[in-house]
Structure 1
Amino acid sequence: MKERQPRKFVFGSKIDVSKTNMAASSVAGGSGTFIGFDFSTQQIKAVVIDDRLNVVQEAHVQLDSDLPEYRTHGGVYIHEDRKTVTSPTIMWVKGLDMLMDRLRVKGVDISAIKGLSGTAQQHGTVYWKKGARDLLKSLDPDRYLHEQLFDAFAIRESPIWMDSSTTAFCKEFEEKLGSPQRVADITGARAFERASGMQIGKIYHTMPDAYMATERISLVSSFACSLFLGDYAPIDTGDGSGMNLLDIHQKDWSAECLDAVAPDLREKLGEVEYASKCLGHIAPYFVERYSFDPQ
């Protein structure tokens, strides 16, 4: 099965975090190097470029072969019904740990990095458990991320873009809103089995305790962004528009759609931001562990 086009999460000037495609011209100070990350289904990859967009270095982690302890095939678990497809969330975290070490081994001068950007697979959802935000803000730079975040998720396996097990909920969602056309008028598409909103609805109906234990729901893109920020990153309007939850006219969550999916969903999703928004500096964890420039 062909992977869908990844979605954007991006980090900008001086390790500020933004939601646009990274370009050297957007970074104050001119010279320097920049990293682009790709959190895709089968691998996590980093490409280092200079201020003329020349590739300086590359590194990647192949999830199946480099992290065999998770026993994934193509980076995923395909369940018995053949429709439920998930990935172990902590595998992505450990993959980032490994990738950062590989960049250092390849001789990348991390202190010279002026910005981070990236992409991530579409539609995957991550369920941070209550208390995870405090954990993100107090990470110990002497320990790997995956060691500290192992118990940070209310659901250990994230539904991803290949999952098509939400047919019943899609029909229920469209009935609650009145018709498939009504859903399309608000969100840009009728209820789509792989859309994140439908996945969240399934989680709420089949795993209500886990849903209630969830503090924040991220897409894979905002999840990756959160790791670098050391705090929850908002979902951008581009990614949000593919969830069956965003009012594409108002560019904000549709209260009507949220209420049809699960209670307290706006609080769990957080705010949405435009892709060009700068979100802050890189977390102290990465400054102290990998020598990123905090300024």
Structure 2
Amino acid sequence: MAAPCYLGWDFSTQQLKVIAIDEQLRVVYEDNVHFDKDLPEFKTQGGVYIHSDRLTVTSPVLMWVKALDMILEKMKSSGFNFCQVRALSGAGQQHGSVYWKKGSIQILKNASSKLPLHQSLKACFSVSNSPIWMDSSTASQCSALEKAVGGAQHLASVTGSRAYERFTGNQIAKIYSQNPEVYMQTERISLVSSFAASLFLGAYAPIDYSDGSGMNLLQIWEKVWSVSCLNACAPGLEEKLGCPVPSHSVLGPISPYYSQRYGFSPDCKIVAFTGDNPASLAGMRLQEGDIAISLGTSDTLFLWIQEPTPALEGHILCNPVDSQTYMALLCFKNGSLMRERIRDDCASGSWDEFSKALSSTVAGNNGNLGFYFDVMEITPEAVGIHRFNRDNQKVSDFPKEVEIRALIEGQFMAKRIHAEKLGYKVNSAAPKARLI
């Protein structure tokens, strides 16, 4: 009998990744599909569409489904033994939303194993391009939500965050206000994480507490939807969201589609998917007091916390590992894509050259400092490239090696400053910080 293994999936911004581990947590398989490179027909850049207003950012839902088809076929061709998989779970980029058209549940449930899944589901989405975490086009909806519930601080006290443009409740409110007929045609709204779980489950997967607390809709203390927040966003929203569940919930067995097409065991269990940031906390095995910094498409700083105090800056989410505790999170939109652009501009696209240039300059950069925001930043709200010399005078450019250090130091100084504003103590006596 084949040795048991477990699959982990990551539906991230730029790619779909899969990893298989055995019962000793050893990696036995891994692969990925890069959206821009492997699915060029969708014409994404960095896995997304940046619309003409520069505020609206979306990704095509069917690209995610087709990527899943592609990676499963790659696994099959490599001889991967699907019947040994006992359970699978995963993560999705936070805040993105998927809109299932009325009647889609039957198509999802009865998908023919003779067809790739994306062919069966091609007419299932009332919104073909999903709003994602990079979107910042919902300022009016955020203002309306905060006003409806008694102010930004009250909203943060209830849901863990003040109203943020990328948060799902505000994205839903925008769709309802601009396309009410599309909203009315929608029978279920998923997060990217619960959408991914739904593909494997063959049914609508519930939203988990942890990813659900990044929507401006969930009461993080009671773990139920806030009626006042729902009503402020769109009518009949609770029915379209379903009931949230703990992040470690076993949702049910895998859809027969996967048993018939790939040879999965019918007993393979689907565990609730969660957001990429909560998944990072779980995967890092953080404990109370640890600080982790994730250097991804967006950079995030997060930690385990027992007694949070939600504030106007940063976020408090339900802890994915322990439903009775919480995680604090700061998110910075200009992460790896910003670093990659400076690498391309200043180091010929080479990380080795980038690192050598960084090492050639001194800590503190002789007083030269830069703030680099290609897109509207989350914390703080700012955009553009801003360079200052040692005399605090704004300058138009830096030498290449100075530019590279200014970028890296500026990004990490911002993380520290905003973390300390939330009460984090970053000093030599503090618990260890981990880079992932």
AA aligned opposite 2:179: M
For residue 213 of structure 1, what is the aligned residue in structure 2? Answer: 185
Matching residue of 2:122: 150
Q: Indicate if the aligned counterparts of 1:192 and 1:198 stay in contact, CA closer than 8 A.
A: yes
Secondary structure in 2 matching 1:90: helix
Higher relative contact order (CA 8 A, sep 6+): 1
Check if 1:106 corresponds to 2:78: yes
Cα displacement (A) at 1:184? 1.1
2:69 equivalent among 91, 97, 115: 97
Partner of 1:272: 244
Shift of 1:30: 11
Q: In structure 1, how many angstroms separate the alpha carbons of the residues matched to 2:164 and 2:15?
A: 25
| DSSP-derived class of the 1:127 partner | strand
Residues in 1 aligned to 2:77 and 2:29: alpha-carbon distance in whole angstroms: 11
> What is the alpha-carbon distance in structure 1 between the residues aligned to residue 148 and residue 87 of structure 2?
44
Aligned equivalent of 1:240, options 197, 212, 223: 212
- What is the TM-score with the length of structure 1 in the denominator? 0.89
| Residue identity opposite 1:189 in structure 2 | S
1:80 to 26, 30, 52: 52
Cα shift at 1:34? 1.2
Tell me, yes or no, if structure 1 residue 198 matches structure 2 residue 170.
Answer: yes
Equivalent in the alignment of 2:223: 251
**Match in the other structure for 1:229:** 201
Q: Distance in 1 between matches of 2:38 and 2:86?
A: 28
Return the alpha-carbon distance in structure 1 between the equivalents of residues 260 and 2 of structure 2.
Answer: 24
The answer on whether the counterparts of 1:30 and 1:51 sit within 8 Å (CA) in structure 2 is: no
TM-score (norm 2): 0.60
Q: What is the CA-CA distance between 1:50 and the residue it aligns to?
A: 1.2
Rg (Cα) greater in structure: 2
**Is 1:44 equivalent to 2:16 in the alignment?**
yes
> What letter corresponds to residue 141 of structure 2 in structure 1?
F
- Matched with 2:402 is none
8 Å contact from structure 2 (residues 3, 84) kept in 1: no
Letter in 1 for 2:219: D
Secondary structure in structure 2 of the residue aligned to 1:74: coil
Aligned residue for 1:192, secondary structure, equals coil
The separation in 2 between residues aligned to 1:167 and 1:40, in whole angstroms, is: 25
How many residues in Structure 1 have an aligned counterpart in Structure 2? Answer: 267
Distance 2:199 2:55 in 1: 29
- Take 2:54 and 2:220, find their aligned partners in 1: how far apart are those partners? 32
Which residue of structure 2 aligns with residue 136 of structure 1?
108
1:182-234 Cα deviation digits (max 9, x unpaired): 21121011111111111111111111111010000000000000000000000
Q: Which whole-Å CA distance do the structure 2 matches of 1:117 and 1:272 have between them? A: 16
Looking at structure 1, the residues matched to 117 and 30 of structure 2 have their Cα atoms a distance apart, in angstroms, of 21
Which 4+ residue blocks in structure 1 deviate beyond 4 angstroms?
A: none
Take 1:111 and 1:197, find their aligned partners in 2: how far apart are those partners? 39
Q: Which runs of 5+ in 1 are unaligned?
A: 1-28
Identity across the alignment (%): 53
Tell me whether 1:166 sits opposite 2:145 in the alignment: no
What is the match of residue 29 of structure 2?
57
Distance 1:175 1:115 in 2: 44
SS of the residue corresponding to residue 252 of structure 2 reads coil
The C-alpha deviation readout for 1:147-188, integer Å capped at 9, x for no partner, is: 000000000000000001011110111111121122112101
User: How far apart are the structure 2 equivalents of 1:209 and 1:35?
Assistant: 38
Cα distance in 1, alignment partners of residues 9 and 194 from structure 2: 13
Q: Determine the C-alpha separation between the residues in 2 that align with 1:56 and 1:240.
A: 31
Which amino acid in 1 is paired with 2:167?
Answer: A
Q: Distance in 2 between matches of 1:121 and 1:277?
A: 19
